Amino acid sequence: MSVLLILGGCGSAEESATAKRNAAAAPASTVQSPDADLVAAVQAPGGTAPVTLRFELPQRPEPGASFKLRLKVTANEELEKLQVAVESTPGVVIADPSPGLVLGKTPAGSSGDVTLSANAPKEGVFELRATVAAQGEKGEETQSVFSIPVMVVVPPPT
C-alpha cells in the first residue's frame, strides 16, 4: 500500500502545472439541473420518512395573486404505493384540492412531481403541510408530515 502512495505522489512539477492550466482553461458547465432550485421540506418530528420531499416556488408569492408550488417526492426505499396530499392552512389556500400525487410501485431513487396552484390573500410567512402516505414492499404503512414555508411579500415599487 505504501508503494502505491509513493507512486501516486511521483510526478514532475511541470506535469502538475500543466494539469492546473488545463483545468483553469476548461469551460465551466452552464447546464443547470431542472431540480437545482428545489428546497427540502421539513419533516415533522417522529420517525424517518421513506421519502424525501423537496419543493420550489418558481415565482415570488404576492398577496392576492395565484402562485405555483412544485413538489418533488423521491423514494428512499422501494415502495408499493405512494401518495402526497397538500393541505391549505390559515393564510394560504390550495386552489386545486386534488389528491396531489399518487404513484404505484416506486423503486428506491425514483421520483414524481406535481405542481399545484395556491393563493395567499395577505402578506406574511405561512406554512403548507404535505402528508406523504407510503406502503412498503412488505405491506407496512407509514405517514409522514412535512412543512413547506411560504413567504408572501408585496413586490418592491418599480
Task: Say what percent of the chain tops pLDDT 70.
Answer: 78
Name the grid cell of 110.
Answer: 425514483
Decide if pLDDT at 130 tops 90: yes
Decide if pLDDT at 149 tops 90: yes
Which band of pLDDT confidence, cut at 50, 70 and 90, is reported for residue 16?
very low
Decide if pLDDT at 156 tops 80: yes
Which band of pLDDT confidence, cut at 50, 70 and 90, is reported for residue 26?
very low
CA dihedral 32, 36, 37, 43 (to 10 degrees): 170
Per the prediction, the chain carries an average pLDDT of: 81
The pLDDT score that the predictor gives to residue 28 is: 52
The pLDDT score that the predictor gives to residue 99 is: 63
- The pTM of this model reads 0.74
More confident residue, 1 or 73: 73
* Lowest mean per-residue pLDDT among 4-13, 50-59, 85-94, 136-145: 4-13
The full set of domain ranges for the chain reads 39-152
Decide if pLDDT at 101 tops 90: no
Topology of the domain comprising 39-152 = Immunoglobulin-like (2.60.40)
Work out the average pLDDT over 16-32: 51
Measured between alpha carbons, how far is 97 from 118 in angstroms, rounded to an integer? Answer: 10
Taking alpha carbons only, the member of 50, 98, 103, 59 closest to residue 77 is: 50
Measured between alpha carbons, how far is 2 from 93 in angstroms, rounded to an integer? Answer: 64
